[in-house]
Structure 1
Amino acid sequence: MYAEERQQYIVDRARRDGRVDVADLAGELAVTGETIRRDLSVLERHGLLRRVHGGAIPVERLGFEPALAARDAVLTAEKDRIAKAALAELPEEGSILLDAGSTTARLAEILPVDRHLTVLTNALPTALALATRTNVTVLFIGGRVRRRTLACVDPWAIEALGQSYVDVAFIATNGLSVQRGLTTPDQAEASVKRAMIAAARRTVLLADHTKLSSDHLSRFGQLSDIDTFITDTGLDEHTAAEIESRGPRVVRV
């Protein structure tokens, strides 16, 4: 097992169980305790885990929100597959909305060059990446820029969204569960996401399987608000069926 695969296993295990133990992981993965401790140090530097005596706990458990760079560095293959599958949800022409997030940013990178689209986004990196594209008209949703996510929030963003209506909104989330719906740690971002859903004819959720059963402070939507949920095959079929029973079509790639 490569170091990246081992570290992803550790993150998944920590999110599932609430913590990980060095000795247990060393036995399961057939490596030394020192190797696991180095992995935990790497994951802590990336903002995904917090070291505690004998192991580590996921930052979500402490109420922390990983920075954009940290989130972009994990599950890269899964996020690429999700973004490619999302291309099928694009209109032939018209308008779309791209939420701030590591997977929605990947979709922005691969938007087809032979299709004319108007793209609304509150994500600074996405707006900059698309600004020079001749086939894309970018409408930037301004407001206060959150340093952690580089997303614009607060009244200016809410007002702009209230005056907009797009064909498809591509939404990101920090947490997703059948019981509590869609959640994110920040109340201001939750308000913007809520307004994005209201501003779209169809809403497509792009989220990898690690977002499942990870609940955060602020709820911004129910599963019934989502038309299509695109995720990876780490989501088991039973849970996918349970989510579909609440409304959205689930696509596992």
Structure 2
Amino acid sequence: MAGKERLTIVRQKIQSEKKITVSDLSQMCKVTEETIRRDLDKLESEGAITRVHGGAIWNEGAQKEGIHFYRRQSKHLKEKQEIAHKTVELLKGKRTIIADSSTTVVEALKLLPDSADITVVTNSTEVFREFQQSAINFVSSGGEFNKKSLSLQGQLAKSNIEQYNVSLALISCKGLSIEKGVFDSNEREAVIKKAMIRQADEVALLVDSSKFDQTAFVSLMDPKKLDYIITDKKPEDTWIEYCEENGIRLIY
């Protein structure tokens, strides 16, 4: 069975079953489990599935979550730019920043002072195109290149991030809930974001208003550990009260 044919079959099987193990796919396709794992890596990079321990699950929102970076960048651009402008105050005086690969965070980075005194560690590859002429020092996490999200992932990226201590982490998410926490939809991306959070003195969550009271597949962090939430408009009163009670600075 050719690789492309097998990949199509694996995709269809996961879509129909919703969740399946590497072992079952290996037996079905009569190939090694290592071959199946490589197939699953390809499907995850496309946004079709999410890898879980021992197997994979189908992303119901695959058509949304697999949207290429530039298509995502153009969606809700006004809201992202509003959030970015509200982040400017936090960026003042910060010399070391760690930033995820989300489109909202990239918009915020565009507003940094063009100074050689600033260093940004990131798993985004888009920043190196965007800031070719900038005096800012950008440090790449390295790792496996995801062409859809223009991000670097995997163990190498995580290990490299763990070498740096920074003043501020800029991250985004797919959903946040007072009861359940902050969520992302991609397990490999969430691993990188968790490492970034651990290495920062302060954490700022840049999130548009549609993500409030929503959940996604992967738990990212307890919202009580956030220092800032920056969004495009005033959230529900329950969020305002929650932030006040937990010392989170809410900016909208």
Instruction: Note the 1:161-240 alignment, pairs <5 A.
Output: 161-233=161-233, 235-240=235-240
Give the share of equivalent positions with the same residue, in percent.
24
Query: 1:123 corresponds to which letter in structure 2?
Result: S
Deviation at 1:178, TM superposition (A): 1.0
Instruction: Note the 1:89-168 alignment, pairs <5 A.
Output: 89-113=90-114, 116-134=117-135, 136-168=136-168
Partner deviation per Cα, 1:123-164 (whole Å, 9 max, x = no partner): 010132224212x11101111122221111110111011111
Query: 2:128 corresponds to which letter in structure 1?
Result: A
Contact 1:228–1:249 (CA under 8 A) maintained in structure 2: yes
Give the aligned partner of residue 19 of structure 1. none
How many residue pairs match? The answer is: 192
Rounded to whole Å, the distance in 2 between the matches of 1:180 and 1:247 is: 18
Q: 1:120 to 1:81 in 2, by over 3 A?
A: same
Give the aligned partner of residue 80 of structure 1. 81
Gaps of at least 5 residues in structure 1 are 1-59
Q: Which SS does the other structure have where 2:176 is aligned? A: strand
Q: 1:70 to 1:210 in 2, by over 3 A?
A: farther
Moved more, 139-148 or 65-74: 65-74
1:62 equivalent to 2:63? Answer no
Deviation at 1:180, TM superposition (A): 1.6
Query: 2:71 corresponds to which letter in structure 1?
Result: A
Give the aligned partner of residue 251 of structure 1. 251
Deviation at 1:226, TM superposition (A): 1.0
Give the aligned partner of residue 23 of structure 1. none
Rounded to whole Å, the distance in 2 between the matches of 1:128 and 1:215 is: 32
**Shift >6 Å, 4+ stretches:** none
Rounded to whole Å, the distance in 1 between the matches of 2:71 and 2:129 is: 20
Q: 1:61 to 1:176 in 2, by over 3 A?
A: farther
Deviation at 1:81, TM superposition (A): 1.3
Q: 1:66 to 1:73 in 2, by over 3 A?
A: farther
Contact 2:116–2:137 (CA under 8 A) maintained in structure 1: no
Gaps of at least 5 residues in structure 2 are 1-57
Rounded to whole Å, the distance in 2 between the matches of 1:80 and 1:114 is: 21
Rounded to whole Å, the distance in 1 between the matches of 2:128 and 2:240 is: 32
Moved more, 202-211 or 147-156: 147-156
Rounded to whole Å, the distance in 2 between the matches of 1:131 and 1:236 is: 40
Give the aligned partner of residue 50 of structure 1. none
Q: Which SS does the other structure have where 1:62 is aligned? A: coil
Give the aligned partner of residue 51 of structure 2. none
Deviation at 1:101, TM superposition (A): 0.8
Contact 2:94–2:168 (CA under 8 A) maintained in structure 1: no
Rounded to whole Å, the distance in 2 between the matches of 1:127 and 1:177 is: 33
Rounded to whole Å, the distance in 1 between the matches of 2:180 and 2:164 is: 27
Q: Which SS does the other structure have where 2:142 is aligned? A: coil
Q: 1:241 to 1:162 in 2, by over 3 A?
A: same
Contact 1:154–1:188 (CA under 8 A) maintained in structure 2: yes
